[in-house]
Amino acid sequence: MSFSPKQFASVFILLVFVFGCAGGMSRTKKIDTIIQTARSYRGTPYKFGGTTRAGMDCSALLYHSFNSVNIKLPRVSEDQAKKGEKIKRKDLVVGDMVFFATGKKKRKITHAGIVTSVRGKEVRFIHASSSIGVTESNLSSEYYSKRFIRARRVL
């Protein structure tokens, strides 16, 4: 089967339109992909400055997870915490980013995670814990609740 140049151009434009739109995943699909990507790193050991499955830190987890849907975040959690829309803790949804001050300075962001589930007041998030690597935790735990600084939504 052969196409005339005009037919080829028409088919090409149609394919670009169809597949170009397919690249525009729904918000739900993007969030699912972000969470799946983050969870694929479960068990990866923590390594300050690490960006691979051999070892990674919390900001690298966010960086790679959001990059899986072509959302480019800065590499450092303090800078990531400036992206997107500011969200109140009570308004958190799956896919939101959460930020914490886990260091000596009570307001300096040093840790980050991605909300993975919200059931009533129970909010779970995935992060790279310095003590156990990539894991999911409860935002209401005494440790994280006291250190929570802000949440942002980029999607």
Active-site residues, by number, are 58, 111, 127
Q: What is the 3-state secondary structure (H, E, C) of the chain?
A: CCCCHHHHHHHHHHHHHHHHHHCCCCHHHHHHHHHHHHHHCCCCCECCCCEECCEECHHHHHHHHHHCCCCCCCCCHHHHCCCCEEECHHHCCCCCEEEECCCCCCCCCCEEEEEEEEECCEEEEEEEECCCEEEEEECCCHHHHHHEEEEEECC
